[in-house]
Every structure is written in structure tokens, then in C-alpha cells.
Amino acid sequence: MPAADERAADPWDLTGELREQARRQLYRRTRVREGGTPRLRERGRELLNFCANDYLGLSEDPRVVEAARAALARDGAGSGAAHLVSGHRPEHQALEEELADWLGRERVLLFSTGYMANLGVLDALLGRADLLLQDRLNHASLLDGGRLCGARMRRYPHGDAAQAARWLASGEHRRRLLATDGVFSMDGDLAPLDALAAACAASGAWLMVDDAHGLGVLGPQGRGSVAHFGLSQTQVPVLLGTLGKAFGSFGAFVAGSEALIETLVQRARTFIYTTAAPTAQAAASRAALRIIREEPERREHLQVLIRRFRAGAESLGLALLPSATPIQPLVLGGAGAALRAAEALAAQGLLVSAIRPPTVPAGTARLRITLSAVHSEAQVDRLLEALARLRLGQAS
Ligand SMILES: *Cc1c(COP(=O)(O)O)cnc(C)c1O
């Protein structure tokens, strides 16, 4: 008989595992909240929302909502089948064409979510004979896609284009692909896309950019981080966008060459084997795209808010990350410290999310503050005053 402490723990002791997760301050829970950006309510209490990805405040824009309502009345609640069966509607087709025109890409393919798009693209393009490089801080869906496709995957240090170039130049592989977030979701900084594009060009690799947080926010006409760097379809053959962030809607897409999109239609299992999204979502995204193209004043106001927040936070002695985007994290270190800071802000009527491992590396738990074009300067000042009361600054 083995001694008690050598006996294997019950593999189905889920309650014990959950208790351990809570003990380490890593427990996550869903809370019911009504409203959106900039205001929402939790159990009747109003909170200013500084954690949504609705960077332009389009989710509640009357034109976006009305477009969805009209499509719902016309087409019904569901598409009834996958795109390749009978689910592909004029509204989907029009959205694909308008996105391709906006981004200057040959073609666009819609996916139901960004998570599914990343899994589908990597699995369609790569296999065991291939090399996949990823930034260490890439979104979970890219990492999961890398695991699923079976390619040899290596993760280079954050933003380190020189290391990526060395790895791209070594080894025997059929295809090489480098995948990176355009704007890093938990840090807010930009990938060095110009250097990464040069490294890929030098080794015959493809560059894939997931621009979930750059599209709508950066670049001319809000065309994102790739346009900010002035990179073409040849330099960035795979461009992935989501419609649930600055578009204020839901869904995702891939933009690229005719041959890429046809390959995804034939091979991307997360496109083939799933129901097409309701047209109300596509109609909302089309209305949002029109606003993104035609109303640069939203991006300009957002930049004013970002500068105001950063100047205020600096004068409080807060340690900001080098981010020029609406994602402005304050790294606090321990998970408990981040949770306590978020709770203290909630007590002052401000909703900011505490981001903990494994979403971010251990020891870098943080408040992830996000700004939106529908915030006012006075609301940013309220956030700064509340942060001042927490005494997180180096001076305190
Ligand atoms: C949010 C996000 C996704 C996932 O998109 P969904 O449409 O929400 O599934 C993918 N990549 C990045 C970088 C993201 O931030």
C-alpha cells in the first residue's frame, strides 16, 4: 500500500481544483450587466465602463442598431445553414465586398468569430511539415490555432523581429508563416510590422496579422495597423479582423488574395462546418463600416482622450506601458493586487477589468483600461481622480 501522500489525488476532484484556483486569486466569474459603453448597470447601480473593446462606441449607434433591426425584420433571426449550403445572403456578400474595398485587398471571407477564424486559417494553411512563428504575447486563439494545425511552432520574445528573422532563416520546412497581433490585446502596443514584413520577405515566409484591436482605430480611414505601416497585400498576405470590437457588432473576417480566400473556402473547417451568422450582424457591421470610413472625428476624439489619460496618469506617477492605442494597462504584479484595485474602482462607480494569468504572464496582473470615442474628457478625469485615490503611483 502506498502512503497516503503518495496515493494519486482523485482525478475527478473538480471542486478541489476550483478551490485551489480561488485560493490563488485566479477565479473568474460572469456578472450580469446591462447597457454598454460608456455606461452600464449592475444590480441597478450605474458604472462607467472602461473595459469594453467598443472603441468607437458603435454598438449602440442608432444607425447601426437600425440596420440590424431592418435586416432582422427582412431576413429572420437565423441564416438556416452554413455559407456553402444555403446560408450565404446578399447582406453577407455585400459586407465581404465592402470590407475588401476598404482594405484594398482582393477578397474577404467572413467567419463567425475571430477565435474561429484564427483556428481555421492556421489549420487550412499549415501542417506538420511547416514552421509557425508567433509573438509570445499573441492572442490565445492564435496559439490554439498553432497547436491544432500541427506545425512546428516557436514563440519569439515580444516584438523581437531580429529573433524572428533568425528563426525564419533556419531549418528545413515546406511553408513558413509568422503570425502576430497588430495591436497587442493586453498591452496596447503595436507589433513592429515593418521589420516583421522585411524578415518574412527575406525568407519567403508569409506574414499574418490579427488586427482585432487596430481596425477602426488606427491608420487612414481606420484601416488598422497594417495600413498605419503602409503595408500591401503582398507584404501581409493574411489580414484578419474582428467585427466585435471597434465595429461594435459581432463576427470576423480574413482579407487577402483570391487564391488565399479560395483555399480557405475549400479547407477552413471553422468556415465550412458552421452556420452562417444572422444577417442582422452583417447589416450592423456594414453600417459600422460606413461610419468608420466617413467619421474620422471619432478617432480624433479617441486620440485626445488617450493623450489626456496618459498625461494625467504620468503626473500621478503611474507606470504606463508604451501604448498609443485605447488599451492603457496599469501593470500591478500580483493577481490579488489587480483584483483589489478593480474592486476599489468599482466602489467609486468605475468598471475596469483585472487581467490575471494565464491571460497575461505570471507576475504581470494588471488593470486593463480601455477608452472609447463615446467617453468624454470629464469621464476620463473621473477615472484619473479615482486612480489617484488608490495611491498606486511610485510617489505613494
Ligand atoms: C478578441 C480577439 C480575437 C477573437 O475574436 P472574437 O470575434 O471575439 O472571437 C482574436 N484575436 C484577437 C487579437 C482578439 O483580441
Say if residue 50's pLDDT is above 70. yes
Surface-to-core class of residue 4, CB atoms within 10 Å of its CB (0-12 exposed, 13-18 middle, 19+ buried):
exposed
Q: Using a 6 Å cutoff on CB, does residue 252 contact ligand 1? A: yes
Say if residue 252's pLDDT is above 80. yes
Smallest CA separation from ligand 1 atom 14, residue: 212
> Which atom, in ligand 1's list, is nearest to the CA of 141?
10
Strands of 194-334 (E only): list them: 206-210, 238-242, 252-256, 327-333
Of the residues 245, 249, 301, 375, which is catalytic?
245
Smallest CA separation from ligand 1 atom 6, residue: 114
Mutational test site, ligand 1, from 136, 185, 327, 355, max ligand atoms within 8 Å of CB: 185
Q: Which residues 6+ apart lie within 8 Å of 104 measured at CB?
A: 223, 232, 233
Q: What is the mean pLDDT of residues 228-246?
A: 98
Q: What is the mean pLDDT of residues 9-14?
A: 93
Say if residue 394's pLDDT is above 70. no
Instruction: Using pLDDT thresholds of 50, 70 and 90, give the confidence band for residue 102.
Output: very high
Contact 102, 221 (CB under 8 A): yes
Q: Which residues 6+ apart lie within 8 Å of 137 measured at CB?
A: 158, 181, 184, 186, 187
Q: How does the average pLDDT of the chain come out, rounded?
A: 95
CA of 67 to the centre of ligand 1 (A): 23
Q: pLDDT tens digits, residue range 134-145?
A: 999 999 999 999
Indicate the pTM of the whole model.
Answer: 0.95
Q: What is the mean pLDDT of residues 238-262?
A: 98
Distance between CA 364 and CA 382 in Å, rounded? 25
Q: Which long-range contacts (CB under 8 A, 24 or more apart) does 136-143 make?
A: 137/181, 137/184, 137/186, 137/187, 138/179, 138/180, 138/181, 138/210, 139/114, 139/181, 139/185, 139/210, 139/212, 140/359, 141/114, 141/115, 141/117, 141/210, 142/118, 142/179, 142/181, 142/210
Instruction: Using pLDDT thresholds of 50, 70 and 90, give the confidence band for residue 155.
Output: very high
pLDDT at 185: 96
Q: Using a 6 Å cutoff on CB, does residue 139 contact ligand 1? A: yes
Q: What is the mean pLDDT of residues 95-101?
A: 98
Say if residue 5's pLDDT is above 90. no
Q: What is the mean pLDDT of residues 129-152?
A: 98
What's the first-to-final CA gap in the chain, in angstroms?
57
Contact 385, 313 (CB under 8 A): no
Active site residue 185: yes
Say if residue 213's pLDDT is above 90. yes
> Which atom, in ligand 1's list, is nearest to the CA of 181?
13
Q: What is the mean pLDDT of residues 4-8?
A: 60
Say if residue 363's pLDDT is above 50. yes
Cβ neighbour number for residue 45 with a 10 Å cutoff? 10
Of the residues 59, 112, 141, 185, which is catalytic?
185
Cβ neighbour number for residue 92 with a 10 Å cutoff? 24
Instruction: Using pLDDT thresholds of 50, 70 and 90, give the confidence band for residue 9.
Output: confident
Say if residue 331's pLDDT is above 70. yes
The residue with cell 484591436 is: 213
> Which atom, in ligand 1's list, is nearest to the CA of 213?
15
Phi (first) and psi of residue 131, to 5 degrees: -110, 130
Contact 365, 335 (CB under 8 A): yes
Q: Which three cell numbers stand for residue 282?
A: 452583417
Active site residue 245: yes
Contact 328, 371 (CB under 8 A): yes
pLDDT at 395: 43
Distance between CA 337 and CA 331 in Å, rounded? 10
Q: pLDDT tens digits, residue range 309-327?
A: 999 999 999 999 999 999 9
Name residue 288's amino acid: A
Distance between CA 189 and CA 199 in Å, rounded? 20
CA of 4 to the centre of ligand 1 (A): 45
Q: Using a 6 Å cutoff on CB, does residue 244 contact ligand 1? A: yes
Q: Could you give the 3-state DSSP secondary structure of residue 302?
A: helix
Task: Catalogue all structural domains in the chain, each as residue range(s) with its CATH number.
Answer: 62-294 (3.40.640.10), 296-395 (3.90.1150.10)
User: Closest by alpha carbon to 71, among 276, 358, 314?
Assistant: 276
The DSSP annotation for 62-104 comes to HHHHHHHHHHHHHH-S---SBIIIII--HHHHHHHHHHHHHHT
Smallest CA separation from ligand 1 atom 8, residue: 114
Say if residue 197's pLDDT is above 90. yes
Active site residue 173: no
pLDDT at 396: 41
Distance between CA 354 and CA 362 in Å, rounded? 13
Comparing 3-7, 221-225, 336-340, which segment has the lowest mean pLDDT?
3-7
pLDDT at 204: 96
171 secondary structure, DSSP code: S
pLDDT at 391: 84
Q: What is the mean pLDDT of residues 350-374?
A: 96
Phi (first) and psi of residue 351, to 5 degrees: -100, 115
Say if residue 6's pLDDT is above 70. no
Say if residue 379's pLDDT is above 50. yes
Mutational test site, ligand 1, from 139, 208, 245, max ligand atoms within 8 Å of CB: 139
Q: Using a 6 Å cutoff on CB, does residue 181 contact ligand 1? A: yes
